[in-house]
Structures are given as structure tokens and as C-alpha cells.
């Protein structure tokens, strides 16, 4: 494995600063440190035509939403984006940079869901919240300016896991979804975490720490809503873009999920970023490939929503080096 020069510089800076891994901190410290790191690496904050906060009914009380709306009137294609953080860290603030960039680049409306966190609310609370929010938004599309025929889900890391779980639930219970964007998703929590123990980067100890908080009962690891890779049947799910990073402990399970989707007849594209680490997608201010991956995600959503390239955008962003997997139309 060849480490990307930007990753080497990032790792060296963290090691020199003595930055402790999140799993070595208290929950409150880790939550604050996680948000600070993402904000530091996300680059300039892009202006969006409208940003507003809403609250909707959830399975156990109100759920906060943040709505990012680009220029345009009437119902818009919409992405529900679930933030990452191992189901333990994160908030609607965590995905601020991603949501703003997607809203402008697609363009489309982006809505972030403030689902409940573990260990206070272990599995399946986050899945229930995300599916409930998806269903509520589809039923109240007029109130939020959503085009219900062009509704997609997405997320990074734990958010990618939740997006995959929502597609499984929506296949049977609705609403119909136009696409799923899965960025280095957790897809199989039943085995031993992969990777090494490098404390300067997201590692297998990180994966185990998040699992311990999220899965109060270890037997839940076999539930397809916790481990979508273990679902018996993945047919009938919406077209997918799966993004993986070579140095990420979750890389192999993300790639296996893309392969299973394709084998089940789901139009699937797998984009693999050599030399990259977990978290790069959320840090385009630090990693050039983070910006490229966000551009690729926007192009995928634009195609699924049937939108033209438009001024200042391209239909097909440059492919990452050594990209693998089926094309958008394969399945």
C-alpha cells in the first residue's frame, strides 16, 4: 500500500501534535474533537441560498433537520444525508461542508437528519430515526419543497451504513428512492475489524470502539440493519455509488457490498481511492481526493436526478487513480 503524500503529511502532523485517538478520550471530549477536526479539514464554507432548521416527529420525540436549498423555486430533487461518527459522535453540524457543496454542485436540496446517538440510544435507534425521517419527508414533500420522485439517501461511514439500512427498509415499506450514496460505509459488523492499530489514523481499534457503543447486544451484529452486507437479498435497491479508501479498515467490506449490489442486479458504481484514509471525503480542504470524491458524488446524483451538467459543472469528473468496479449503467 502506497500512502498518498497528503495522507503522510496529515499523519505526521497529528503524530507531532500528540493528538490522542478518539477512543482514548471521554465521549464529550471525542464528540468535540471529532467536530473540530472535520471543520478544520473541510475547507472554505460555501454559501448556500437558504439554510434553515426544522423539527419533525420521530419515533422517540422530535428529530432536528437542517435544510440546505440552492437557487430555484418549487419542488427540488433532494438528498437525505446521514452524518458519520460511528453512531456515537456527530450531529447535524458534522456534515455542514458536505451538504453545502452537494447542494451547490448537483444542484439539489440536501437535508441532514439529527438521529439519536449511542451509547445513550443504541441500535436500532439511529436506523429507526433515519427511516422515520425519510418516510415523513416523503409524505410531507410539499411542505419542504421536495420532489418525491427524486429523493435519494446518502452518508459517510456510519451515515453510509444508515443510508444502506434505510434502503433495505424502504424497499418494503417505502418511500421509493432514486439513489444511494455510500461513502466508506460500515457494512459488516459481525467479524473482527480489519487494519492496524496506528493511533494517528482511524484504525481497527476505532472500529471496535464504535461497535461497542452502538451494539448493546453483540448478537445485533448479525442483523442486516446493522450489517447490510449480511442481508439475504439486495435486489430491488436504488442505484448506488460506493466510495472506498485503500487505507481504511472499512475498505474491504465497502467493496464487498458494492459487488453484492451489482450481483443482485442493482446499478452500482464502485470508486476506490488509492492511498487515502477513512474520513478523506469530509476533508476536501486537506485532501485533494476529498474534493474529487465530492465532485464525483455530485455527478452521480445529478445523473440519477436527470439534471443537466449546467454552467461550471461537468457530467463526468476525473476518475480516481486505479478506480475499480462497475460503471453507472452496469448491474
Q: Is 156 considered catalytic here?
A: no
Residue tagged active-site, from 131, 156, 278, 289: 278
Q: Is 248 considered catalytic here?
A: yes
Q: List the beta bridge partners of residue 241.
A: 181, 269
Residue tagged active-site, from 129, 156, 248, 289: 248
Q: Is 53 considered catalytic here?
A: no
CA distance 21 to 23: 5
Residue tagged active-site, from 157, 206, 227, 267: 157
CA distance 54 to 72: 20
Catalytic residue set: 157, 248, 278
Amino acid at each position: 500500500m502506497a500512502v498518498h503524500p497528503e495522507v503522510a503529511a496529515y499523519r505526521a502532523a497529528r503524530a507531532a501534535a500528540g493528538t490522542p485517538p478518539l477512543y482514548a478520550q471521554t465521549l464529550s471530549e471525542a464528540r468535540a474533537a471529532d467536530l473540530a477536526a472535520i471543520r478544520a479539514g473541510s475547507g472554505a464554507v460555501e454559501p448556500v441560498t437558504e439554510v434553515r432548521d426544522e423539527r419533525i416527529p420521530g419515533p422517540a420525540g422530535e428529530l432536528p433537520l437542517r435544510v440546505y436549498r440552492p437557487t430555484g423555486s418549487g419542488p427540488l430533487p433532494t438528498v437525505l444525508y446521514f452524518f458519520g461518527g460511528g453512531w456515537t459522535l456527530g450531529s447535524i453540524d458534522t456534515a455542514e461542508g458536505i451538504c453545502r457543496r452537494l447542494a451547490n454542485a448537483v444542484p439539489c436540496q440536501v437535508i441532514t437528519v439529527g438521529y439519536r446517538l449511542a451509547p445513550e440510544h443504541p441500535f436500532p435507534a439511529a436506523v429507526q430515526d433515519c427511516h422515520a425521517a425519510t418516510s415523513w419527508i416523503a409524505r410531507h414533500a410539499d411542505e419542504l419543497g421536495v420532489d418525491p420522485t427524486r429523493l435519494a439517501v446518502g452518508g459517510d461511514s456510519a451515515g453510509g451504513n444508515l443510508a444502506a439500512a434505510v434502503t433495505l427498509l424502504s424497499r418494503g415499506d417505502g418511500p421509493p428512492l432514486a439513489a444511494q450514496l455510500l461513502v466508506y460505509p460500515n457494512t459488516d459488523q459481525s467479524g473482527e475489524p480489519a487494519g492496524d492499530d496506528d493511533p494517528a489514523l482511524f484504525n481497527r481499534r476505532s472500529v471496535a470502539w464504535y461497535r461497542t457503543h452502538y451494539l448493546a447486544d453483540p448478537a445485533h451484529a448479525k442483523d442486516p440493519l446493522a450489517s447490510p452486507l449480511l442481508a439475504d437479498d439486495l435486489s430491488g435497491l436504488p442505484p448506488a455509488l460506493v466510495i472506498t479508501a485503500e487505507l481504511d479498515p472499512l475498505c474491504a467490506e465497502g467493496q464487498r457490498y458494492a459487488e453484492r449490489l451489482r450481483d443482485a442486479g442493482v446499478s452500482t458504481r464502485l470508486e476506490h481511492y488509492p492511498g487515502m484514509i477513512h474520513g478523506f471525503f469530509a476533508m476536501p480542504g486537506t485532501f485533494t481526493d476529498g474534493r474529487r470524491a465530492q465532485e464525483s458524488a455530485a455527478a452521480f446524483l445529478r445523473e440519477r436526478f436527470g439534471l443537466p451538467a449546467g454552467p461550471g459543472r461537468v457530467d463526468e469528473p476525473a476518475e480516481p487513480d486505479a478506480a475499480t468496479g462497475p460503471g453507472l449503467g452496469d448491474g
